[in-house]
Structure 1
Amino acid sequence: MIVTFTQQRQDYFDALAWVSELMAATRTGQLDARTPCKDFTVRHLMGHLLGTAQRGLGTAQRVSTKGIPHVVTEVPDDELAMTYAALATSVRRAWSQLVTDDQVNAPWGPCSALEAARGFTVETVTHGWDLAVATGQPHDAPAGIADRCLTYAASVIPDRLRGVMYDAPVAGTGNGSATERLAHLLGHQRDRNG
């Protein structure tokens, strides 16, 4: 399956919208809950998603993303969802200006806009799954996004980042939904949600 830049960009936008909905439905009492994402509570995961979206915006705007924290912590709990939704709107606006062959500086290095969109989509969908599982929400990404992510995800996760940004793939879990299989590919699993 060949995923065009137009489709990939739309998948990224749909992933951002999905996470926006998940955040909006997350209750304050769930913020201290554990998630399948190692060492993250729901609050930290939402802060990481904010940082990821800020890096997506900076990449499209061709500004340095080096100063963006791994987990954004200065946003008050009751403003996390609203801040993410506003950021997602800015990300969509900035990425709508790019074309497939544009070269950008993603956080992991120079690449095409298509390659960058792939990376941000995989990251957003996987952490969306983490958030959905941790908060008891439907955890399948919409519109076939995860199915398309699975066709290229292994190529956007270099081995050098295993054990640094990503754990080893979860073995023996090939029967779940496409979204869950994508999460497993990045080393995320349900039994961490303790």
Structure 2
Amino acid sequence: MNSGELLERSLAYALGSVALVPREGLGRATPCARWDLGDLLAHLDDALDALHEGLTGGRIGLFPGPAGRTDPVCDFRRRACALLGAWVALPGEERSVSVGDRPLDVRVMAATGAVEIAVHGWDVAQACGRPRPIPSALAAELLPVARCVVGDEDRGVRFAEPVGVLPRAGASDRLVAFLGRDSFSGRGWSAFRE
């Protein structure tokens, strides 16, 4: 698995979802219980900013920078381009990033960021009333990453309990269900934290 490629494909998918955001729709409900669509886009922007900070400075602060956003859709697009540029400019993938006082391999950071970006891209599309499954190949590659980085201690805090899926469920449905989302009924929205 190439972490940079996962990151690029997740960003492409999320950009397609963000393109669906109506100009006056930032107050819409999302699968993330505490956030409306504007809050979700701000969270995505913060995530991209943190990934960019890790790639360009080798360190991610524990708290987001000050708000000052005017157009969350435009901000997301701009940060997505900057993040991809930073990844391409990275001298090599054999590097670590400090998250607080702990080292993290840059490939793990990128793969984890890819999960967050793709799944929140799914959330954005749901909030816009235009469900878009995460592309199967991408979701199939992201699911093992999600299983590695989301533990039992995250349930009820950052993520709801996994939602059951039918045996014939596609990779997108399995990924979002693992992270507490029900792609068929919206069930689990109220319990989801991030």
Instruction: Give the TM-score of the pair, scaled to structure 1.
Output: 0.83
> Structure 1 residues 54, 172: CA separation in 2 closer, same or farther (over 3 Å shift)?
same
From 139, 145, 162, the equivalent of 1:146 is: 139
**8 Å Cα contact 2:133-2:172 kept in structure 1:** yes
From 44, 47, 50, the equivalent of 2:45 is: 50
SS at match of 1:152: helix
From 111, 120, 123, the equivalent of 2:116 is: 123
Q: Structure 1 stretches of 5 or more lacking a match?
A: none
From 44, 60, 63, the equivalent of 2:59 is: 63
**8 Å Cα contact 1:100-1:113 kept in structure 2:** yes
SS at match of 2:59: coil
> Structure 1 residues 148, 73: CA separation in 2 closer, same or farther (over 3 Å shift)?
same
Q: Structure 2 stretches of 5 or more lacking a match?
A: none
Cα separation, 2, equivalents of 1:174 and 1:143 = 15
Cα separation, 2, equivalents of 1:54 and 1:41 = 20
Q: What percent identity do the matched residue pairs reach?
A: 23
**8 Å Cα contact 1:57-1:91 kept in structure 2:** yes
**8 Å Cα contact 2:29-2:127 kept in structure 1:** yes
SS at match of 1:9: helix
Question: 2:27 corresponds to which residue?
Answer: 32
Q: Residue by residue, what CA displacement relative to the aligned partner does 1:94-132 show, whole Å, maximum 9, x if unpaired? A: 122153321112479422112111210111111111111
Question: 1:182 corresponds to which residue?
Answer: 175
Cα separation, 1, equivalents of 2:157 and 2:50 = 18
> How many pairs does the alignment contain?
185
From 85, 106, 123, the equivalent of 1:113 is: 106
**8 Å Cα contact 2:54-2:97 kept in structure 1:** yes
> Structure 1 residues 156, 107: CA separation in 2 closer, same or farther (over 3 Å shift)?
farther
Cα separation, 2, equivalents of 1:8 and 1:64 = 18
**8 Å Cα contact 2:93-2:107 kept in structure 1:** yes
**Displaced runs of 4+ in structure 1, greater than 6 A?**
none
Cα separation, 2, equivalents of 1:177 and 1:107 = 36
Q: Residue by residue, what CA displacement relative to the aligned partner does 1:156-180 show, whole Å, maximum 9, x if unpaired? A: 1133222222222123455433223
Question: 1:11 corresponds to which residue?
Answer: 6
Q: Which amino acid aligns with 2:145?
A: Y
Q: Answer with 165-174 or 14-23: which moved more.
A: 165-174
> Structure 1 residues 136, 73: CA separation in 2 closer, same or farther (over 3 Å shift)?
farther
Q: Answer with 92-101 or 38-47: which moved more.
A: 92-101
**8 Å Cα contact 1:146-1:182 kept in structure 2:** yes
Instruction: Give the TM-score of the pair, scaled to structure 2.
Output: 0.83
Q: Which amino acid aligns with 2:152?
A: D
> Structure 1 residues 44, 174: CA separation in 2 closer, same or farther (over 3 Å shift)?
farther
Q: Which has the higher helix share?
A: 1
Cα separation, 2, equivalents of 1:47 and 1:66 = 16
Q: Which amino acid aligns with 2:14?
A: V
